[in-house]
Amino acid sequence: MSSQLYKIQSSLKMVKDPVVRERLLMVQAAHQEPLRNAAKKFGCGHDKINYWKKRYESRGIRGLYTKPRSGRPPKISEEEAMKIRRTVRKHNPMKGWRTQGIRELIIHETGVTYSFRHAIRIIQSWGMSKVKPRPRYAFSKEEDRKMFLKKPRGTWHAGPADGK
Residue 75 neighbours by CB under 8 Å, 6+ apart: 110, 112, 114
Name the residue ranges covered by the structural domains of the chain. 3-64, 78-125
- pLDDT confidence band for 53 (50 / 70 / 90): very high
Q: What gap in Å lies between CA 25 and CA 12, rounded to an integer?
A: 8
Q: Find out whether 119 and 130 touch, Cβ atoms under 8 Å.
A: no
Give the pTM: 0.49
For residue 157, pLDDT over 60 is answered with: no
Q: Which has the closest alpha carbon to 28: 48, 51, 45, 9?
A: 9
DSSP string, 8-50: HHHHHHH---HHHHHHHHHHHHHHHS-HHHHHHHHTS-HHHHH
> CA 25, 50, 35, 44: dihedral to nearest 10 degrees?
70
Q: Which has the closest alpha carbon to 52: 16, 28, 17?
A: 28
Torsions phi, psi for 147 (to 5 deg)? -65, -30
Per-residue pLDDT reduced to its tens digit, 54-109: 999 999 899 999 888 888 888 999 999 999 999 888 876 667 788 888 999 999 99
